[in-house]
């Protein structure tokens, strides 16, 4: 199968150490054709294509706008891998599998037991939206791993859900397009303690504090210590 482009929305930030190690992990372990940075282009990034984008909304609106911009760009491959700047692919992949988190109702129940947030409300609203299209038991694709995306299907999902303040766009796309996939636990590490991952982990993601100060950050930096082709020499 032909390698797909990678698309990563990047927020405006003076430093972004997670992105640096995410890029290293993709070069080492995730076959791809080209890298597209949407939004802010860090000065140390080398050899990536850039889609400039003004980021004046909420983080949810900004990332949705970034995904739409990628889908509307003629340069991006018709199928691409949608990433975040804190997705680490830790083991070699022949190609990126389609993965989901299980039923939205189960993920929703877990969140509702712990927090009340705009993210949770967006999850509920996205589930209700999918029910209007006859999808009573949708899967959640809000995992912290790269997602294979087909441009036309994603644009359809963004159009359908554009009225939602916090559209769960991966979930809307995955269910409306019927992409299926395999269920896994989410790989996001929220804490500093050395638990929840190990040498067998294929994918990881971290909170900024866990990456900077936690054991998981040490683990990722040790595994990905060599600069990659997307880093300018001498730039930090």
pLDDT, one tens digit per residue, over 92-133 is 999 999 999 999 999 999 999 887 799 999 999 999 999 999
* Phi (first) and psi of residue 164, to 5 degrees: -85, 130
Of the candidates 31, 19, 36, 26, which has an alpha carbon nearest to the alpha carbon of residue 73? 36
Q: Token pair 């644009």 is at which residue? A: 155
C-alpha to C-alpha distance for 111 and 55, rounded to whole angstroms: 27
* Runs of H (alpha helix) within 30-176: 59-72, 104-112, 118-132, 151-160, 169-176
Which domains does the chain carry? Answer: 5-223 (3.90.550)
Locate 91 and state its tokens: 């083991």
C-alpha to C-alpha distance for 3 and 77, rounded to whole angstroms: 9
- Which residue stretches of the chain have pLDDT < 70? 1, 14, 234-236
154-164: pLDDT as tens digits: 999 999 999 99
pTM for the predicted model, two decimal places: 0.95
């Amino acid at each position: 199968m032909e390698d797909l482009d990678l698309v990563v929305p990047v927020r405006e930030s003076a430093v972004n150490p997670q992105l640096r190690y995410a890029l290293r992990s993709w070069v080492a372990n995730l076959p791809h054709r080209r890298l597209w940075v949407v939004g802010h282009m860090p000065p140390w990034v080398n050899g990536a294509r850039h889609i400039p984008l003004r980021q004046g909304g909420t983080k949810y609106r900004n990332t949705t706008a970034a995904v739409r911009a990628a889908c509307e760009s003629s340069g991006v491959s018709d199928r691409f891998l949608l990433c975040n700047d804190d997705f680490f692919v830790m083991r070699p992949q022949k190609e990126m599998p389609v993965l989901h988190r299980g039923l939205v109702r189960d993920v929703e129940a877990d969140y509702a037991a712990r927090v009340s947030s705009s993210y949770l409300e967006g999850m509920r609203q996205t589930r209700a939206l999918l029910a209007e299209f006859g999808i009573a038991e949708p899967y959640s694709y809000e995992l912290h791993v790269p997602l294979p995306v087909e441009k036309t299907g994603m644009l359809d999902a963004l159009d359908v859900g554009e009225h939602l303040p916090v559209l769960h766009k991966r979930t809307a796309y995955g269910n409306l397009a019927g992409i299926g996939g395999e269920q896994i636990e989410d790989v996001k590490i929220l804490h500093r303690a050395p638990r929840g991952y190990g040498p067998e982990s294929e994918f990881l993601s971290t909170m900024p504090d866990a990456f900077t100060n936690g054991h998981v950050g040490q683990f990722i930096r040790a595994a990905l210590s060599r600069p990659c082709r997307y880093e300018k020499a001498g730039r930090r």
